[in-house]
Amino acid sequence: MARGTDRRARSGRSSGPSGPGPAGLLLLVAATPADAVAPLAAEPPGAPVAVACLGRGGPGEAEALGSALAAARERGHRVTGEPYVLDVRGDADARLLDLFLDLAPARIGTPDPDPESVAVEGSDRKYAVVEPPARGAAARAALRAARAYQERTGRPVQVDCRRAAADPYASVEAASRYPRQSGWLTRGEDGRLSVHLMSAGGVLRWTETVPGGPEWDGPEALEAPAELMPGLTVLQGADGYVRLLGLRRADDKGGEALEVVTAVQYQSGRPLAPWQSIGNPNAREWERARQLGFPVAALDTTGTLHVFVRNVGRGISTRRQDRAGNWTGWEHLRGRRIADELAALPGPDGRVDLVARRRERAEAVHWAYDPAARSWTEDRTVPVRLVPGSLAAAPEAGGFRFRYADTNELCLWRPGAPAPEALGAADGTGAATGAAGALVQGWSCTVLVRPGGDGAVAIGVHADGRPDTGIWWAPGGERSLSAPAVALDAAGRAVVAVLGVDGRPRVMRQRHGAEGLEFDPWHVL
């Protein structure tokens, strides 16, 4: 394509493929060549990869990226040509959009749009940004260009942002600024399944046309606030309502702060209720507010919604909304410094349990909310040593799943238990999620899904409430850009969902009457 060649000539690109990139392309966008090295090293082989840099960087940066690309090829990466060096002068959005239109990427990898800052000693508690401003600027330009690309072409684009100051050797799951989604497959009161996935252009939804499928409507772009960041928490309670939580950049409120926003889907396939801002516990100073972690939430047995975020002081801030829609103010839970990894679930007797990974250790901290006393209790003696990026709530099991730091084995810990239970599956990375109540040869079973050792989804099954009886694991055959999800359909069949490397979700449904747990072929939505 001459047009694509002309674009590359203007960008300073000397070689590379002509025309759209390969299907499922991951395009890493960095401020300079050096900033692309860590994301490239952390990306597992699989999807084809290309690199774009907004600037040429300093001495030796191009050579460092060249060495990283050579090492990536040796690890099995399919690297598409040499890096694009755009060398922009104030037109980053337009130049990136031009490149996206040329390559048609399915996924964008960027730095953190919110820079790392540190506390400055003095009489007033202040925070100073310590990251080069070009990194955040490159990320924000990539986000704007990705939104514009999706709006112009209608092609969904997934965005991963690598957290500022993350360990350069950390996995994608552990270093993501916006945690990879889980629980994004839900069943409404009418029996129809819904998929809610975040994209560069906002929240996309697919809905079964009739309960039990097999056909789906979508993708449907849902109404969303401007500058919604590329992450989404999906929560469903006993009432069947689907609650969405995320972060938006609040430029309209002065400065570049972040605020937590939420919306509710009351019926499958129907419009969302209006998005609502619930603010930021550090809203008075943008340097503090931009350090906000990503929200997680849980519903207790009274229907009260509890929302949690990691605050600028590396502690926990929380708000509650009662069934009448009234919010409390932000409450700060004192305790140890924690990382951007939280999970929450409803506990017994109306309690809510929250577990967070510690910032600089493999340990975890547990808080429990007593609704009668309206207070939180912190427990620092949690028998959990977890791999970063592997913590997930397991409401159907009444506990939390994680990977044990010393063996990488999946485990389940129920609050109050003296030790976790082993679930096997030491291969793979990331979290596991499950759905209880699937009938397998007449037995009521829990179906688990997780990323396998080869990157493809792995599926496990055990008797409900009895993982100690043993778990049978089998490969599912499809890779997923997000954490795989599982739910029961209107007929009680287990349905497994993945987000394919081409950016399109896929589902496969349990085949009733089969010997063991068997599924029909994958169906692309």
Is 110 inside any structural domain?
Answer: yes
Q: How many domains does the chain fold into? A: 2
pLDDT at 299: 94
- As a residue count, the chain comes to 525
CATH number at residue 50: 3.40.50
Is 309 inside any structural domain?
Answer: no
Is 364 inside any structural domain?
Answer: no
On the CB side of 520, CA atoms within 13 Å amount to 15
Indicate the burial class of 484 (C-beta count within 10 angstroms; 0-12, 13-18, 19 or more): buried
How confident is the chain (525 residues) per 10-residue block, as mean pLDDT?
Answer: 31 42 89 93 86 94 94 91 86 93 94 77 64 87 95 93 84 86 92 96 96 94 91 92 93 73 96 94 78 93 93 91 93 85 90 92 92 87 92 94 95 94 90 94 94 89 91 91 94 95 92 87 95
Is 266 inside any structural domain?
Answer: no
Is 63 inside any structural domain?
Answer: yes
Strands of 311-372, DSSP E = 316-321, 331-333, 338-346, 352-358, 364-370
Locate 102 and state its tokens: 């040329």
State phi, psi for 167 to the nearest 5 degrees: -55, 125
Is 363 inside any structural domain?
Answer: no
Indicate the burial class of 372 (C-beta count within 10 angstroms; 0-12, 13-18, 19 or more): exposed
Q: What whole-number distance in Å separates Cα of residue 499 and Cα of residue 519?
A: 17
Q: Given 149, 173, 197, which residue is the final one in a domain?
A: 173
Residues 290-314: pLDDT tens digits?
A: 889 999 999 998 899 999 999 888 8
Domain membership of residue 441 as a residue range: 432-525
3-state secondary structure 269-298: CCCCCCCEEEECCCCCCHHHHCCCCCCEEE
Is 178 inside any structural domain?
Answer: no
Q: Given 152, 173, 194, which residue is the final one in a domain?
A: 173
Locate 118 and state its tokens: 């540190």
Q: Given 156, 173, 190, which residue is the final one in a domain?
A: 173
Is 220 inside any structural domain?
Answer: no
